[in-house]
Amino acid sequence: MRWVIACVVGFVVMVSLSASGARAVAAQDDLPEGEGKKILLSSCTACHELTEVTKFRGYYNRDQWHDIVMTMKEYGAPIDDRQVDVLTDYLTKHLGR
């Protein structure tokens, strides 16, 4: 009986691990290459998943993305003024309304 439980637990852990791995890759692959993506991956994934950003696909216009990027900068995202512009353009183009 014990080994059955161990098997089931092992299987569930394995499936949930591989599922979350696949989701992370899918979220990244969805976004076209570019400097904006590099900034996004290096500066915007420290405090939350990339999906916290990509789930707003289609919701915000340029001003609103700019506001979000500035808010995240205030929170401590490591991003300079030039990168704010590059990233805002990127977000507007690929995830904008």
Interface residue with ligand HEC among 23, 48, 93, 97 (CB under 6 A) is 48
CA 20/CA 95 separation, integer angstroms? 22
Per rule CB under 6 A, is residue 50 in the interface with ligand HEC? no
Rounded least distance, CB 4 to ligand HEC, Å: 42
Which of 31/87 has CB closer to ligand HEC? Answer: 87
- Binding of residue 95 to ligand HEC (CB under 6 A): no
Provide the token pair at 49.
């998943």
Q: Is 68 in the site for ligand HEC (CB under 6 A)?
A: yes
Sign of CA dihedral 58, 64, 69, 71: negative
Q: Which is nearer to ligand HEC, 26 or 47 (CB)?
A: 47
**Binding residues for ligand HEC, per CB under 6 A?**
43-44, 46-48, 52-53, 56, 68-69, 72, 75-77, 79, 87
